[in-house]
């Protein structure tokens, strides 16, 4: 009964975690949908950049074409909301598989409950609709298969074991066409072989002659490696994870390491990472013996903690791979404790039960915070429980179309994927958010420098002859902020559209009537403030600050504060502003103190 209650609470939490509105449309999802459409209609996977007029023929390895086709077909058949449902189903299956595998490996519900409380919060960050979801599913399938093999009582392989063993190459075949993390499949399979081989050598004192079961495992692993070449790019596609950063001229947020991100972004899951990673490493000091197959596999997964450390997008692997290894260590430690400690536990048999009940309560409370939107409000996340797919860039695209604007465009990195979706094939973009689809020197020598000074932009304008600028003003890069501050003062350009996500400027010489009719001035932002919610007013305030309209920015933040005085983002922004102004320093200190207090309470 207690076991069923725990697993049910975990599944409820998984469902609540992923069943939320998505703003990914403004970034990668739009590009995935247009590529899915192209692949479906042409029957071919594009192997060049395709969407950019700057480098349309630059070679591009699309390692996630299969999810793009699935996303496009689902959206056409059932609407965009179906992608939220699909993403939720995939992730609930993946995370539940790992949870059940951890329990089957150890049989220790208390150890699994303890690990689940510690490790599951790291999943809070990567919940959007992305092809990497498929990597999470296939990692879970590999873990489930491997743990099933590790729990067999002897070294022999039954027919069932052979069936699931040779499922690995089939899963890998789909994986290599779904996401760049397909390399994890062969790595985990090698870990299985090493664990089996070491255990065999310890039991026999020798490895040769190799038993038939070991030869079957080796064959399955060879096939797992071999099928990686079955993709639209062949050997190049199979080696792509090793080569991708050879031509990577632009750093993206999700590829940054955790320590770097902890200093520049407000991301509560980073705190969960440090807790879970530390506990995982310490668990190896608790295990009571080494040569058990599952514990050898746990040791082999220890270096994979670096995967989660090195990039934000890899955080879920801390749960998918390291969580079951942690439970194996804890279960082994509890099995090997001293007789006096076992006698102590025998007197307090209610302790494991209490731990499981505690895990159930905490898990359901976490789920409720997600379902009630309390967590999203506390973190100022642009999400809410439900299936809405938000397209914040739609207003900018509608303005572009309705006013018959045209390129050549200049756009920034962040909005490029959505412009691919909305404008192709009528217009092609300057760049999009695929660093690997452009020469590295394009970002270093053209894209970044042209934003750093007005002179550089003028030189680029002579080459590309821009007519329209569409960019996401939330760009936090130093060059992006310099560009915003300079372009608003450029007499050749006029700001004609601004919302919480995007800004549009037109060249006055090309569009004189629109530049006059739709010109946006500082007072325009203030007059529209009552019709915006607090998040939109914060975004407008940040844009006004970039444009040099400090008084407008302050007033917008004060309006946002009146709309939601509990928002950590508003408290932080307004508090920092007040700290910099004489007469409001004490109020600013008070707001910053309140912001820090609220931020600490977000951890749950």
User: pLDDT tens, 1-35?
Assistant: 788 899 999 999 999 999 998 887 777 888 999 99
Q: 407 and 360 share a domain?
A: no
Distance (Å) of CA 73 to CA 79, 130, 278 = 9, 15, 42
- Strands 468-472 and 409-411 turn out to be parallel
pLDDT-derived band at 548, boundaries 50, 70, 90? confident
295 shares a domain with 151: yes
- Please indicate, yes or no, if residue 87 is contained in any of the structural domains: yes
pLDDT at 98 (0 to 100): 93
Q: Are residues 101 and 208 in the same domain?
A: yes
Q: What's the full length of the chain, in residues?
A: 604
Alpha-carbon distance of 591 to 216, in angstroms, equals 64
Bridging pattern class, strands 502-507 and 409-411: unpaired
Considering the domain architecture, whether residues 440 and 327 belong to the same structural domain is answered as no
Mean pLDDT of the chain: 84
Residue closest to 234 by CA, chosen among 186, 177, 278, 281: 177
Query: For residue 326, is pLDDT > 70?
Result: yes
Residues 76 and 215 in one domain: yes
User: Based on the domain organization, do 89 and 128 belong to the same domain?
Assistant: yes
Residue 556 placed within a domain: no
Long-range contacts (CB closer than 8 Å, 24 or more residues apart) made by 205-208: none
- Same-domain check for residues 366 and 398: no
Q: Verify that 108 and 177 share a domain, yes or no.
A: yes
Enclosing domain of residue 495 = 394-520
Q: In the chain, what percentage of residues exceed pLDDT 70?
A: 89
Mean pLDDT of 160-187: 92
Cis geometry, peptide bond prior to residue 253 (ω within 30 degrees of 0) = no
10 and 61 in a single domain? The answer is yes
Of the residues 338, 355, 379, the one at which a domain ends: 379
223 & 160 share domain = yes
Residue 425: cis peptide before it, omega within 30 degrees of 0: yes
The structure's pTM equals: 0.89
Q: Which tokens in the block code for residue 439?
A: 């020469």
Q: Using 50, 70 and 90 to split pLDDT, how confident is the model at 584?
A: confident
User: pLDDT tens digits, residue range 478-493?
Assistant: 898 899 889 999 999 9
Q: Inform me whether the pLDDT recorded for 202 exceeds 70.
A: no
Considering its fold, how many domains does the chain have in total? 2
Q: Which helix (H) or strand (E) holds 503?
A: strand 502-507
- pLDDT of amino acid 164: 87
User: Are 95 and 194 in a shared domain?
Assistant: yes
For residue 194, is it within any domain? yes
Phi and psi of 373, rounded to 5°? 70, 10
Residue 588 falls within a domain, yes or no?
no
Q: How many whole angstroms separate alpha carbon 332 and alpha carbon 349?
A: 18
How many CB atoms within 10 Å of residue 381?
17
Q: Is residue 458 part of a domain?
A: yes
Domain boundary among 493, 520, 547: 520
240 Cβ partners below 8 Å, 6+ apart? 61, 63, 180, 233
d(CA 436, CA 452): 22
Q: Looking at the domain assignment, is residue 585 inside a domain?
A: no
Q: What is the pLDDT of residue 338?
A: 47
Asked whether 467 and 511 are in contact (CB, 8 A), the reply is yes
Q: Does one domain contain both 288 and 358? A: yes
Q: How far apart are CA 484 and CA 502, in angstroms?
A: 12
When pLDDT is cut at 50, 70 and 90, the band that residue 203 belongs to is low
Query: What is d(CA 76, CA 71) in angstroms, rounded to the nearest whole number?
Result: 9
Question: Cis before residue 145, ω within 30 degrees of 0?
Answer: no
Residue that is last in its domain, among 520, 549, 567: 520
| Structural domain contains residue 326 | yes
Q: Kind of pairing, strands 468-472 and 502-507?
A: antiparallel
pLDDT range class, residue 51, cuts 50, 70, 90 = very high
Residue 567 lies in a domain: no
Q: What is the DSSP letter of 92?
A: H
* DSSP H or E stretch at residue 574: helix 568-579
Closest CA to 68 of 113, 21, 132: 132
């Amino acid at each position: 009964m207690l076991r069923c209650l725990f697993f049910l609470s975990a599944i409820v939490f998984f469902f609540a975690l992923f069943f939320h509105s998505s703003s990914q449309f403004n970034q990668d999802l739009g590009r995935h949908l247009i590529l899915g459409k192209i692949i479906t209609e042409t029957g071919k996977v594009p192997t060049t950049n395709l969407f950019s007029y700057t480098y349309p023929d630059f070679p591009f390895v699309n390692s996630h074409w299969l999810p793009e086709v699935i996303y496009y077909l689902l959206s056409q058949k059932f609407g965009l909301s179906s992608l939220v449902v699909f993403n939720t189903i995939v992730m609930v299956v993946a995370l539940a598989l790992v949870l059940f595998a951890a329990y089957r490996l150890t049989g220790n519900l208390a150890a699994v409950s303890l690990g689940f409380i510690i490790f599951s919060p790291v999943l809070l960050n990567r919940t959007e609709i992305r092809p990497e979801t498929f990597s999470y599913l296939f990692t879970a399938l590999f873990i489930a298969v491997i743990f099933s093999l590790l729990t067999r009582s002897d070294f022999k392989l039954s027919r069932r074991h052979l069936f699931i063993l040779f499922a690995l190459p089939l899963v890998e075949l789909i994986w290599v066409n779904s996401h760049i993390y397909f390399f994890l499949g062969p790595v985990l399979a090698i870990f299985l072989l090493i664990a089996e081989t070491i255990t065999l050598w310890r039991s026999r004192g020798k490895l040769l002659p190799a038993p038939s079961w070991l030869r079957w495992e080796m064959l399955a692993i060879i096939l797992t490696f071999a099928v990686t070449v079955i993709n639209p790019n062949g050997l190049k596609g199979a080696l792509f994870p090793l080569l991708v950063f050879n031509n990577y001229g632009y750093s993206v947020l999700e590829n940054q390491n955790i320590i770097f991100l902890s200093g520049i972004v407000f991301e509560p899951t980073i705190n969960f990472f440090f807790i879970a990673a530390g506990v995982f490493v310490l668990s190896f000091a608790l295990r009571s013996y080494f040569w058990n197959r599952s514990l050898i596999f746990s040791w082999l997964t220890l270096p994979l903690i670096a995967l989660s450390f090195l990039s934000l997008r890899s955080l879920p692997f801390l749960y998918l791979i390291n969580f079951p290894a942690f439970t194996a260590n804890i279960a082994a430690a509890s099995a090997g404790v001293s007789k006096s400690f076992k006698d102590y536990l025998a007197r307090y048999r209610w302790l494991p039960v209490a731990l499981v009940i505690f895990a159930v309560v905490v898990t359901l409370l976490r789920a409720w915070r997600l379902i009630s939107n309390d967590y999203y409000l506390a973190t100022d996340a642009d999400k809410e429980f439900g299936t809405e797919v938000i397209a914040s860039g739609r207003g900018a695209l509608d303005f572009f179309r309705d006013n018959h604007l045209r390129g050549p465009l200049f756009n920034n990195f962040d909005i490029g994927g959505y412009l691919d979706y909305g404008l192709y094939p009528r217009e092609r973009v300057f760049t999009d958010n695929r660093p690997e689809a452009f020469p590295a020197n394009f970002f270093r020598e053209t894209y970044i420098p042209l934003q750093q000074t007005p002179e550089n932009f003028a030189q680029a304008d002579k080459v590309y002859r821009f007519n329209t600028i569409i960019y996401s003003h939330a760009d936090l890069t130093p060059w992006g902020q310099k560009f915003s501050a300079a372009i608003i003062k450029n007499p050749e350009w006029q700001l004609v559209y601004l919302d919480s996500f995007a800004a549009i400027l037109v060249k006055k010489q090309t569009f004189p009537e629109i530049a006059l009719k739709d010109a946006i001035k500082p007072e325009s932002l203030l007059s529209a403030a009552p019709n915006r919610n607090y998040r939109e007013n914060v975004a407008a305030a940040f844009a006004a600050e970039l444009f040099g309209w400090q008084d407008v920015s302050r007033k917008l933040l004060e309006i946002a504060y009146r709309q939601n005085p509990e928002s950590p983002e508003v408290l932080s922004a307004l508090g920092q502003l007040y700290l910099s102004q004489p007469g409001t320093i004490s109020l600013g200190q008070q707001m910053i103190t309140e912001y820090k207090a609220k931020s600490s309470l977000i951890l749950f």
